[in-house]
Structure 1
Amino acid sequence: MINYFLEISLISLISAQSLKLFTKYFVTGEWDITVMFSTGGMPSSHTALVTTLTLSLAMISGFDSIEFAISFVFSAVVIHDSMGIRYEAGKHASILNQIALDISHVVKKKELYNQKFKELLGHKPIEVFGGFVVGLIVALIGFYFL
């Protein structure tokens, strides 16, 4: 093992991204492999990654360690960003896309309005919770079985 904390965190990230394939199928009935390489969706891979790192550090280094404290603060920032700022940016993108579509009918240079902003950027609270559960499970499996 090169770095246990890095490896278990990456396993969590890959697990969460892979689960997006199945949650997308469950919701839409379509297999879409591109969701494994995109942001947003269920579960939050960012939350899974930082949850696994933080909990692994807590279980191995202790809740009173500086490593845990740094990771906890970092995790709070990442989770807040994914659920707050990036989610709001996605809503803005949706509105901008609609405005561009609406005015493209009256503007001469339509090619300027053919580009769409990506709308699925952040996460809903349930998606963040899903990422937390994935991160918790991976951290526990890693601690007890690896």
Structure 2
Amino acid sequence: MDEVITVADAFPSHSKSSSPSSLFTNLPLVSAFLAFSIGQFLKVFTTWYKEKRWDSKRLLGSGGMPSSHSATVTALAVAIGLQQGTGGSAFALAVVLAAVVMYDASGVRLHAGRHAELLNQIVCELPEEHPLSNIRPLREPLGHTPLQVAAGAVLGCIVSYLMRKSLPT
């Protein structure tokens, strides 16, 4: 028994090449980045609809409608499920990641943003001679309402489904 197992035998390669161009045909990766980008882009318009003002800072900011983080992780999980099925470890990992991110966005980060809003209001009411009266305000739009998280999740599902139809398999 002089059988030799090589690295190639232990880790069989996939049928697709691992060239840099394959990054652009990686359904989960492309879907996740596209969902994030669309989510951030939509925030400019949802802010305009709600506040009647254009705010280009929304392209890079957190919080707001829809949750681009939720769109990203949902697109990732759905794309993995569509491509590899729902029985694998990669899908399980992506679903758990999505659940943690969406829970955090609508829980911890939402409440941290509300705390920042309250603290900013308190600091504004301090007398000018108080040492904290001139500190920079805390960022308020940190988290998301459950509706914003759900909208991001729907966006992620739609993007992954549409990308599955457009990327070569």
Same fold (TM over 0.5): yes
Name the stretch that deviates more: 94-103 or 56-65: 94-103
Partner in structure 1 of residue 158 of structure 2 = 137
Say which of 86, 95, 110 aligns to 1:63: 86
Structure 2 counterparts to residues 1-146 of structure 1, below 5 A: 1-2=22-23, 3-103=26-126, 105=127, 107-109=129-131, 113-146=134-167
Shift of 1:93: 0.5
Query: Which of these two proteins has the greater Rg computed from alpha carbons?
Result: 2
TM-score (norm 2): 0.80
| Whole-angstrom CA distance in 1 between matches of 2:130 and 2:86 | 61
| Whole-angstrom CA distance in 1 between matches of 2:45 and 2:161 | 22
Give the residue type in structure 1 aligned to 2:70.
T
Shift of 1:107: 3.5
| Whole-angstrom CA distance in 2 between matches of 1:5 and 1:91 | 33
Shift of 1:143: 1.1
TM-score (norm 1): 0.93
Q: Describe the superposition over 1:100-132 as per-residue Cα deviations: whole angstroms up to 9, x where unpaired.
A: 1122x163436x533100111000011111101
Gaps of 5+ in 1: none
Gaps of 5+ in 2: 1-21
